[in-house]
Amino acid sequence: MIQRDLFPSHSCCLWLWLCKEAGFQKRSAPPFGRISAMDFALTQEQELIRESAYKFGQNSILPGLAERDRAHQSDKEMLRRMGEAGFLGVCIPPNYEGMGADYVSLGLVCEELERADSTARVAMSVHVGLHSMTLMQWGTEEQKRRWLPDLATGRKLAGFGLTEPNAGSDASSLRTTATKDGDHYVINGQKTWISLADYADQFLIITKLAETTAKAPYAAFIIDRNTPGFSSRAIKGKLGVRAGNTGELFFEDMRVHHDCRIGEEGDGFKVAMSALDHGRYTVASGAVGIIQACLDASVKYANERSVQGEPIGKKQLVQQMIASMVQGREVGRLLYYKVGWMKNQGLRHTKECSLAKWTNCAAAFDAANKAVEIHGAYGYTDEFPVERYFRNSRGAMIYEGTHEIHTLMQAEYELGYRTDKPLDYVLPSYPFED
Ligand SMILES: Cc1cc2nc3c(=O)[nH]c(=O)nc-3n(C[C@H](O)[C@H](O)[C@H](O)COP(=O)(O)OP(=O)(O)OC[C@H]3O[C@@H](n4cnc5c(N)ncnc54)[C@H](O)[C@@H]3O)c2cc1C
């Protein structure tokens, strides 16, 4: 903690004093060039993007949502509208037909979309985070030109396939194999719990290599759903994201050309981990949107519902729950803004992103639980949206690393058992080069 009274009052004197204390000789050129980087204000462009995502949620997601959620009915039309609005290409550079906004803006879009419903943010996570941004990071120029324009505009939808029936947290146990055959690979296997399984036109999948000299026997491919041997099937009876599509993918002797491989043979696992750096960021920022939605509903209800002649908002225990939600929202924003800033700077952020995802998803579930409590019995029906927040927020504590996996990661970083090595390919920093 800086003791302010130690500083001379005049700011110019403060500079000189800091320079002297830090042992800098040249007082005319302040050495703290990066100090302006600690700026928590959003730019006008970021504010506009946040506002347009909020309005999109109100006008294009919420109408009819309660009925669709009740009927387990997904809405492909909403995904098309998200593409038209530019959200599916928010942080893709303009030379690939994207909006060209920064990575903090991506977080803001995810927060505002998930404030309306998790299904829209899940689409952002898999289409933008796990697929398009990973392609931006690992793809060759030819691959980026081939796929990114259609993805950034929403002309095509994309998903991500890592999980298998016997490989979730322990992804290295995956059994889907890619066997080299001339210029092609023949892929056999199965993926499960894949968001947009029935809707996506293409998927980034991680496979094991049947024969390879690579140290790590994994490879990543972009596969097209029209490839012979591909099929998908929806998963029924989900607890949450009921208005979204989740399913299984099946690959039977599916021939994929080698120019669809992302990264080299042996890079498959690194590609998957990079994808999670981007997907987890969207989940962390979206979780703040759930907390905000819980606050929107709870503040309204607490002011309307009266007991003993006064609104329940006047009861201190209700206030305690509201205050706890505010705490979750504010801490959550700081955590994801930091990760967005690190992405903009081109800094490695696996540790910070895991922390944001872990903290924010737990805070969102806690906020949703409290929101149900504040609504009493009415919170236990789908007459109010809070039961949907409760079910949806639970899922985010499972996908893209369970609560336990992130707990372990944070402990391992701190204990010195885990460090991040520099990657061969990094996500383009912001501002993007022409
Ligand atoms: C709605 C939804 C959408 C999804 N979308 C996608 C998608 O688009 N693409 C995709 O690839 N996957 C997706 N998933 C899958 C998700 O990523 C996996 O469910 C997740 O990684 C956990 O794997 P698992 O379900 O096999 O659980 P398991 O790994 O079997 O874990 C079961 C339990 O054991 C605990 N556990 C596991 N390992 C350890 C350990 N080492 N130490 C302590 N505890 C441990 C876990 O924390 C958990 O509590 C989605 C899942 C859901 C629910």
CA-nearest residue, atom 24 of ligand 1:
168
Residue 104 CA, chain-centre distance (Å), reads 12
CA-nearest residue, atom 30 of ligand 1:
168
In terms of Cα–Cα distance, which of 35, 38, 45, 42 is closest to 15? 35
Rounded to 5 degrees, what angle do the CA atoms 36, 39, 44 make?
115
Ligand 1 pocket residue status of 193, Cβ below 6 Å = yes
Which member of 77, 304, 400, 414 is catalytic? 400
Distance 168 CA to ligand 1 centre (A): 5
Single pTM value for the model: 0.94
Question: At residue 425, what is the residue type?
Answer: Y
Write the DSSP assignment of 184-233 as a string of letters: EEEEEEEEEEEETTTT-SEEEEEEEESS--SSS-EEEEEEETTSTTEEEE
Q: How far apart are the first and last CA of the chain?
A: 42
Residue 167 DSSP code: B
Helices assigned H by DSSP within 346-416: 350-374, 386-395, 403-415
CA-nearest residue, atom 12 of ligand 1:
163
pLDDT in tens, 74-105: 999 999 999 999 999 999 999 999 999 999 99
Domain assignments of the chain as residue spans, ordered by start: 44-157, 161-267, 269-415
CB 325 within 8 A of CB 368: no
CA-nearest residue, atom 51 of ligand 1:
399
Query: What are the pLDDT tens digits along the chain (434 aa)?
Result: 334 444 444 444 454 555 565 665 544 444 444 445 678 899 999 999 999 999 999 999 999 999 999 999 999 999 999 999 999 999 999 999 999 999 999 999 999 999 999 999 999 999 999 999 999 999 999 999 999 999 999 999 999 999 999 999 999 999 999 999 999 999 999 999 999 999 999 999 999 999 888 889 999 999 999 999 999 999 999 999 999 999 999 999 999 999 999 999 999 999 999 999 999 999 999 999 999 999 999 999 999 999 999 999 999 999 999 999 999 999 999 999 999 999 999 999 999 999 999 999 999 999 999 999 999 999 999 999 999 999 999 999 999 999 999 999 999 999 999 999 988 899 999 999 97
Distance 361 CA to ligand 1 centre (A): 14
Topology of domain 161-267 in CATH is Butyryl-CoA Dehydrogenase, subunit A; domain 2 (2.40.110)
Residues in the chain, total: 434
Ligand 1 pocket residue status of 195, Cβ below 6 Å = yes
Atom of ligand 1 nearest to the CA of 191: 11
Distance CA 342, CA 363 (A): 22
Distance 193 CA to ligand 1 centre (A): 9
Distance CA 128, CA 157 (A): 9
CA-nearest residue, atom 17 of ligand 1:
399
In a mutational test of the pocket of ligand 1, which residue from 125, 169, 202 has the highest number of ligand atoms less than 8 Å from its CB? 169
Distance 246 CA to ligand 1 centre (A): 14
Whether domain 269-415 has CATH 1.20.140.10: yes
Query: What residues contact 323, with CB distance under 8 A and at least 6 apart?
Result: none
Distance CA 345, CA 427 (A): 10
Ligand 1 pocket residue status of 160, Cβ below 6 Å = yes
Question: At residue 420, what is the residue type?
Answer: D
CB 190 within 8 A of CB 165: yes
Q: Which CATH number fits domain 44-157: 3.40.190.10, 3.40.50.720, 2.60.40.2220, 1.10.540.10?
A: 1.10.540.10
Task: Reply yes or no on whether 383 is catalytic.
Answer: no
